[in-house]
Amino acid sequence: MRTYYLLTGVAIAALGASAPVLAQSSEAERAYNECLETLIEGHPDHGTVSCAPPPIPSRILVSASRDADVFIFDYAGTATIINQEQIEQRQARDIAEILRDVPGVAVSSVAGQTQVRLRGSEANHVLVLVDGIEVSDPFSGEFDLGTLQIEPGAHVEVLRGPQSALYGADAIGGLINYQTARGDQLRGVTARVEGGTDSTINASARLGIGDYQANLALTATVVSTDGQPNARDGARDIGRDSYSVSGKGAVRPSENLELRAVGRFIRTEGDFNDQDFNSLNPTFGLVIDSPATRFENEAIYALLGASLDTFDEVWRHDLSIQIADINRDSFNAFGRSSGSEGDRLKASYVSAVRIDNGSVTHHITGAIDWERERFRNNDPFGFAFAGRREIENTGLAGEYRLEGRQFDLSAAIRHDVNDRFADETTFRVGAGFDVTDTTRIRGSAGSGIKNPGFFELFGFFDGQFIGNEDLQPEKSTGWEIGLDQRIAAGAASVSLTYFESTLENEIFTTFPPPDFIATPSNRSTESERRGVEVSANARLGGGFSFDAAYTYLDAEEDGIEEVRRPDHIASAAIDWSHPRDKASVTLVVRHNGEAEDLAFTDPSFIPVRVTLDDYTLVNLNARIRLSAGIEAFGRIENLLDETYEQVFSFVSPGRSAIAGIRASF
Mapped onto helix, strand or coil, the DSSP state of residue 524 is coil
Which residues does residue 544 pair with via DSSP β-bridges, in sequence order? 541, 576
* Banded pLDDT at 644 (limits 50, 70, 90): very high
CA 440 to CA 430: how far, in whole Å?
A: 13
From residue 564, how far is each of 147, 190, 451, 598, 648 by CA, in Å? 21, 38, 22, 9, 9
Please report whether residue 44 resides in a domain: no
Note whether residue 631 is domain-resident.
yes
User: Using CA atoms, how far apart are residues 32 and 26, in angstroms rounded to an integer?
Assistant: 10
In a domain, 158, yes or no: yes
Q: How confident is the model at residue 38 (pLDDT cuts 50, 70, 90)?
A: low
Per-residue pLDDT tens digits for 58-109:
678 888 899 888 888 889 999 999 999 999 999 999 999 999 999 999 999 9
Domain membership of residue 51 (yes or no) is no
Number of domains in the chain: 1
Residues 175 and 183: beta-carbon distance below 8 Å: no
Hey, which bits of 378-473 come out as E strands? 388-403, 407-418, 424-434, 439-450
Tens digits of residue pLDDT in 333-392: 999 998 899 999 999 999 999 999 888 999 999 999 999 999 988 878 777 677 789 999
Give pLDDT, residue 35. Answer: 58
Across the chain, mean pLDDT equals 89
Residues 240-257: tens digit of each pLDDT: 999 999 999 999 999 999
* Domain assignment present for 435: yes
Does a structural domain hold residue 31?
Answer: no
CATH of residue 106: 2.40.170.20
Of 74-83, 382-391, 433-442, 519-528, the one with minimum mean pLDDT is 382-391
Q: Which of 21-35, 69-83, 577-591 has the lowest mean pLDDT?
A: 21-35
What average pLDDT does range 484-513 have in this prediction? Answer: 92
Q: How many whole angstroms separate alpha carbon 139 and alpha carbon 379?
A: 13
In terms of residue numbers, what domain contains 651? Answer: 2-24+59-355+363-383+397-404+412-664
Of residues 205 and 491, which shows the higher confidence score? 205
pLDDT tops 50 at residue 20 = no
pLDDT value of position 10: 34
Q: What is the dihedral of CA 340, 463, 600, 234, to 10 degrees?
A: -60
Distance CA 421, CA 394 (A): 12
For 184-218, give the secondary structure using H, E and C.
Answer: CCCCEEEEEEEEEHHHEEEEEEEEEEECCCEEEEE
CA diameter of the chain: 85
Please indicate, yes or no, if residue 36 is contained in any of the structural domains. no
In a domain, 185, yes or no: yes
- pTM higher than the cut 0.85: yes
Determine the pLDDT at residue 21.
31
pLDDT(502) > 70: yes
pLDDT in tens, 126-148: 999 999 999 999 888 899 998 99
Reported as a single tens digit per residue, the pLDDT across 255-269 is: 999 999 999 999 999
The pLDDT value given to residue 201: 97
